[in-house]
Structures are given as structure tokens and as C-alpha cells.
Amino acid sequence: MTVRDVVPADWAAIWPFLHRIVAAGETYCYDRGSTEDQARRLWLLEPPGRTVVAVDTEGAILGTANVHRNQGGPGAHVATASFMVDPARAGRGVGRALGEHVIGWARAQGYRSMQFNALVETNTRAVALWRSLGFRILATVPEAFDHPVHGYVGLHVMHRHL
């Protein structure tokens, strides 16, 4: 598996699984009915942001991540990132590889820390992954996410220094 910059032609392979994850409504504060155009604008970032894909040895796209400034101006030294792994490829280390790549890139760019603003507390797989990559939960905003199965659940703010 390698991680590389996204190119426009990758979108056709990203959209089906990204749509599946967004439409499930369990992990992101995105409109579950987001159109393909809206999702493309949201996901594919221009510099200084960056969007990457994880690909296997045959070039198939396994997952994607984006990373950008969490705030502007005096807050621009803190990065944030988002991750989507094709559910059909889950549990095989793609999320970890994307996480490690994004952390290394953000550090090399001079970001001082990385913050995840809204990690759904029932997303235990993601919470375990980010903890194992050095993030800790700073706070949990109570009942901030309306989960389709669990109802109102908390959103973790997670952070690590780079």
C-alpha cells in the first residue's frame, strides 16, 4: 500500500464509498443527502490543504484522507484531518497508514499540533486508532451528534502535539 496525492481521476473511485459513509450518517457531521458535487468540493482540497489516497499495488483506491488548517490566522499552526476508508477494505491497516502519513506530512509542513474537532464517541474503531497514534480526548461535547441508531451521543475533541 502507498499513500499519494489525489488526482481528479481518482474521484470516480472515491465517491461510491465516501457516499456510503456519509449516507450512513454515523461518523461525520455532513449532510447525509450531500450531492456528489458538494462532496467533491468538500473533500478535494487545494493547497495549503491536501487530499491523499491510499492505493494497493494494482492502483486500486482503498481509502482517502484530507488535512488542512483547523483555523485561520493565529490558529493556522494547528492542523485537522478527515479519513474515509472503503468499508470493503476496513480493518486491514489502511486507516493507520493514512493517519501516519498525514501526521508526518503535517509535521513536515511545520504544523505544531493536530486536532480532530468532532469524533463521534460511538466510533470506537476510530477512537482506538487515533489514541494509538498519540491523540488524547480533550473533551466530549455532550449530545452533539444525532446518531441514527444510538440517538444523541457526544463528539470528542481529540488532540496531539506534533
Among 16, 132, 143, 152, indicate the residue that binds ligand COA (CB under 6 A).
132
Cα–Cα dist 87/6, whole Å: 19
Among 52, 95, 153, 159, indicate the residue that binds ligand COA (CB under 6 A).
95
Among the listed ranges 2-10, 35-43, 71-79, 128-136, the one in contact with ligand COA (CB under 6 A) is: 128-136
Cα–Cα dist 158/114, whole Å: 8
DSSP H helices in the chain: 11-24, 36-43, 94-109, 124-132
Among the listed ranges 43-51, 94-102, 135-143, 149-157, the one in contact with ligand COA (CB under 6 A) is: 94-102
Q: Name the residue with the smallest CB distance to ligand COA.
A: 95
Closest distance to ligand COA from the beta carbon of 41 (Å)? 19
Which residues between 26 and 65 bind ligand COA (CB under 6 A)?
Answer: 27
Cα dihedral across residues 56, 42, 115, 22: positive or negative: negative
136 - beta bridge partners? 159
Closest distance to ligand COA from the beta carbon of 95 (Å)? 2
Among 12, 29, 60, 128, indicate the residue that binds ligand COA (CB under 6 A).
128
- DSSP β-ladder status, 151-161 and 61-69: unpaired
